[in-house]
C-alpha cells in the first residue's frame, strides 16, 4: 500500500501546484520533490516497483529527511503566507520567505 501512496504523492506534487496557480519556480520545486519520490519508489522493494533494488528500510531512511523538507518548504518559500491579504491567516511572505520571488501567480 505504501508504494501506491508514494506514486499518488508523485502525481499530487505535479498536479496540485499547477491547480493552485503557483509560479514556475514553485511548480518546478514541487515536481522535483515528486519525481524524487517517484524514482525512489520505482526502485524500492515493493509490489509496484519497476526494478526492486532498494530495501524497504533504506527507502524509509531516505524518506524521513526529505519529508521534513517538503513539509516545511511551503512555509519558508512564502507559498502559504502570500495566499492573499488576510486569506491564510499566516504572516506575509516577507516574514516567511526564503526566496526572492513569490511562488503565487504570474
Do the Cβ atoms of 34 and 11 come closer than 8 Å?
yes
Give the integer Cα–Cα distance in Å for 51 and 48. Answer: 9
Express each pLDDT in 4-55 by its tens digit.
888 998 999 999 989 988 888 888 888 988 898 899 999 999 999 999 999 9
Is the overall model pTM greater than 0.75, yes or no? no
Do the Cβ atoms of 95 and 76 come closer than 8 Å?
no
3-state percent breakdown (helix, strand, coil) of the chain, nearest 5? 60, 5, 35
Per DSSP, the chain holds a count of helices (H) and strands (E) of 4, 0
Express each pLDDT in 51-76 by its tens digit.
999 998 898 888 877 777 777 766 66
Cell numbers standing for residue 27:
511548480
- Whether the pLDDT of residue 99 is over 60: the answer is no
The full set of domain ranges for the chain reads 2-96
Q: How many CA atoms lie within 13 A of 45 on its CB side?
A: 6
Amino acid at each position: 500500500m505504501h508504494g501506491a501512496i508514494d506514486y499518488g504523492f508523485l502525481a499530487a506534487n505535479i498536479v496540485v501546484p499547477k491547480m493552485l496557480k503557483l509560479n514556475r519556480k514553485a511548480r518546478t520545486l514541487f515536481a522535483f520533490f515528486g519525481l524524487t519520490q517517484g524514482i525512489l519508489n520505482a526502485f524500492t522493494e515493493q509490489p509496484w516497483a519497476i526494478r526492486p533494488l532498494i530495501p524497504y528500510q533504506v527507502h524509509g531512511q531516505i524518506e524521513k529527511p526529505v519529508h521534513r523538507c517538503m513539509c516545511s518548504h511551503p512555509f519558508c518559500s512564502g507559498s502559504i503566507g502570500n495566499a492573499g491579504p488576510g486569506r491564510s491567516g499566516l504572516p506575509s511572505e516577507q516574514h516567511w520567505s526564503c526566496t526572492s520571488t513569490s511562488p503565487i501567480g504570474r
